[in-house]
Amino acid sequence: MEEEGSRRRPSDAVLCECSVLAARRTTRSRSKAIVVNPRTSSQRRFRRFIESIVRKVFDNQRKSPRDNVSAASATQIQADVTPTKSAHLAELNVVSPPKRTASAPASRLNVNGTLDSNGNYGRKTASQSDLNYSSELSVASPTRHAIPELDLTFDNYNDEQYRPTPKPAPVISRPLPPKPQAPKEPIYYPQGKPVPQLQNDTALRRVCEVFRSFPNQKCTLDNMAAVCEAAGLPMYWKMPVFLAITNDEDRPATQVDFTSWWKAMTSVAHDESARFVYTLTMGSRSYLQPEDFYEMLMDIIHTHPGLAFYRDATEFHDKYCQVVMTRIFWNDAHSWSGKLTTDRLRKGGVLQAIRNLQFDDDINKSLRYFSYEHFYVVYCKFWEIDSDHDLKISSNDLAQHAGSALVPMVVDRIFSGAVCTNPNRGQPVEEIGLAEFTQFLLAEEDKTHPTSIEYWFRILDLDGDGFVTLYDMELFHTQVQRKLANEGIDSMAFPDVACQLIDMLNIPGGASSFRLSDLKKSSLRGRFINTFVNWRKFFAQETNEGSESPRIEDEGGQELTEWDRYCIEEYEAMMEDDQADAETISLNLEEDDGRSSLAYHDVL
């Protein structure tokens, strides 16, 4: 029984434990054992190589059943367990691998001295069938306090034979350094994009030369045109610039005054819009109010060739200024706060119109702002309905406009403060002046203008929630139907009209209410607004449905707006009426002269 037990192959756990303990113990042995002292790098690599093979073999043995151990593996690994008399150690003798033969290079040999399937040698991925070597394992019967030792012989070891395949050096991908980029400029410049300092200094030197040409190097208002030209400013900035450099004092301006003002202005205002606001407000605000234009407009009246006939009518100068200021804010401000910001001024057209005044002697070519004919039409319409001529219009006076074409609810909404731009906006008013009437007339005669659309939307939005519902529309259109009924004109019921109105706005889903954006997108917004505001225009567009007004262009080839065409027609009609009145007056005077002469002869 002892012989059979000695011949029996030890278990895998015992072999694994013995190999691990023997590999790790190098200095604790008490008997005469061979201690390996790897002095060279080759010996250390070989020891690690043998340990990896032993671990691989034992791992594969544990994975397979004991009864299915192949004969090849049994012949490859032989273990003899023999008892020793000392009974304190079990020796594990591993025979060194065979030497390299000349049949294959060392770098292409496996553990058996042959090439593996991958053409590599000494890799951890070798299979169990590739491990073919001769070794003898002698494991004594374990006794108490027995420490196994590993006996490794390096007599036949060759450094070149067991050189492992060198691993390729890892490629370290380093990101390329970023390319130097120019600093990004800010997208938005509230005061304009800064200009080079050299440009400002060059303009200042030109102005200084102009000042030296004046008597006593002092400048009056009459000489400011040359100063503005030297500084690169429009000529009709001369009045605001003169007031700014003299601090609104009644005295001539000096070179020192202009230099200090110019440096202060160019340090914060860099483009034309910002400099215009700085000049008119003397640097106190970043926006303009209507009264800021007053001095400049008065200077235009007194110096522009197109208004030479108008200079003696001083009682109408203020009225002209009111109409022009209202039109400037109507076209460029796009706000109901009564403020014209630098950004809106930059996007508007009044600055270019001011610059063009010095090149054109006909003031009436400035259709959007300074036309005298347009002012004449507005003032005459205002004078017609001002019953007591106190330059104030009541709700009863406004109801008489255009032959009582407005419905009563529209008149009430105008006086409710819904469309006022004064500080008391939203508060009811009893009377309106020329400025408010100018806004009304601009909105009434050109309903396609963006500000006009906002004007009428505020009128129709009774509760101010930003939506005009069918209920609001029905209230206004009911009064239009009453006006038509008083004139003996039949009209459709409101449900039929409402279907047409929804189609005009082209609201997705056929909603029963609309917003301001929906009204602005519609190409039929003018016809839509007339349905609730002006019963005469509503009747005219219903009877002339399908007919379009002819296209009229100005001298520059641009199409005239509805407001421009209205002013042309009204001005011509007023001129014909004035001429007819003049002829009537002259005939009456001739008749009076004839009667007086006849009576004189009779007396004689």
pLDDT in tens, 51-67: 888 888 777 776 654 44
**Bridge partners of residue 469, in order along the sequence:** 513
> Looking at the domain assignment, is residue 111 inside a domain?
no
Query: Are 410 and 351 within one domain?
Result: no
Residues 6 or more apart whose CB falls under 8 angstroms from that of 50 comprise 94, 152
Q: 396: domain CATH number? A: 1.10.238.10
What single letter denotes the amino acid at residue 596? S
The two three-digit tokens of residue 442, written as one number: 């601009």
Q: pTM of the entire structure?
A: 0.68
pLDDT score recorded for residue 368: 94
> Looking at the domain assignment, is residue 474 inside a domain?
yes
Query: Are 365 and 404 within one domain?
Result: no
Query: Are 289 and 352 within one domain?
Result: yes
pLDDT score recorded for residue 555: 65
Closest CA to 205 of 164, 255, 244: 255
Query: Are 359 and 401 within one domain?
Result: no
Q: 230: domain CATH number? A: 1.10.238.220
Query: How many angstroms separate the Cα of 599 from the Cα of each of 431, 587, 589?
Result: 52, 19, 15
Catalogue the E-assigned strands of 321-364: 340-341
Number of H helices, E strands in the chain: 24, 10
> Looking at the domain assignment, is residue 249 inside a domain?
yes
Higher pLDDT, 154 or 252: 252
> Looking at the domain assignment, is residue 286 inside a domain?
yes
Query: Are 394 and 525 within one domain?
Result: yes
Query: Are 263 and 396 within one domain?
Result: no
Query: Are 309 and 434 within one domain?
Result: no
600's enclosing H/E stretch is: helix 562-603
Higher pLDDT, 294 or 4: 294
Q: What residue numbers bound the domain in which 316 lies?
A: 197-370
Query: How many angstroms separate the Cα of 515 from the Cα of each of 450, 458, 469, 511, 519?
Result: 14, 11, 9, 11, 7
CB atoms within 10 A of CB 377: 23
Residue where one domain finishes, among candidates 517, 543, 569: 543
CB atoms within 10 A of CB 593: 10
pLDDT score recorded for residue 185: 64
Query: Are 358 and 403 within one domain?
Result: no
pLDDT score recorded for residue 39: 56
Query: Are 354 and 443 within one domain?
Result: no
pLDDT score recorded for residue 136: 39
Average pLDDT over residues 464-484: 93
Closest CA to 210 of 224, 200, 222, 221: 224
Q: Which of 104-108, 237-241, 419-423 has the highest mean pLDDT?
A: 237-241
Confidence of residue 511 (pLDDT cuts 50, 70, 90): confident
> Looking at the domain assignment, is residue 522 inside a domain?
yes
Total tally of structural domains belonging to the chain: 2
pLDDT score recorded for residue 414: 94
Query: Are 209 and 289 within one domain?
Result: yes
Query: Are 223 and 362 within one domain?
Result: yes
Residue where one domain finishes, among candidates 309, 340, 370: 370
Confidence of residue 23 (pLDDT cuts 50, 70, 90): low
Q: 249-296: per-residue pLDDT in tens?
A: 999 999 999 999 999 999 999 999 999 999 999 999 999 999 999 999
> Looking at the domain assignment, is residue 20 inside a domain?
no
pLDDT score recorded for residue 602: 40
Query: Are 346 and 396 within one domain?
Result: no
> Looking at the domain assignment, is residue 265 inside a domain?
yes
Higher pLDDT, 558 or 93: 558
> Looking at the domain assignment, is residue 14 inside a domain?
no
Residue where one domain finishes, among candidates 543, 562, 585: 543
Residues 6 or more apart whose CB falls under 8 angstroms from that of 161 comprise 99, 100, 106, 109
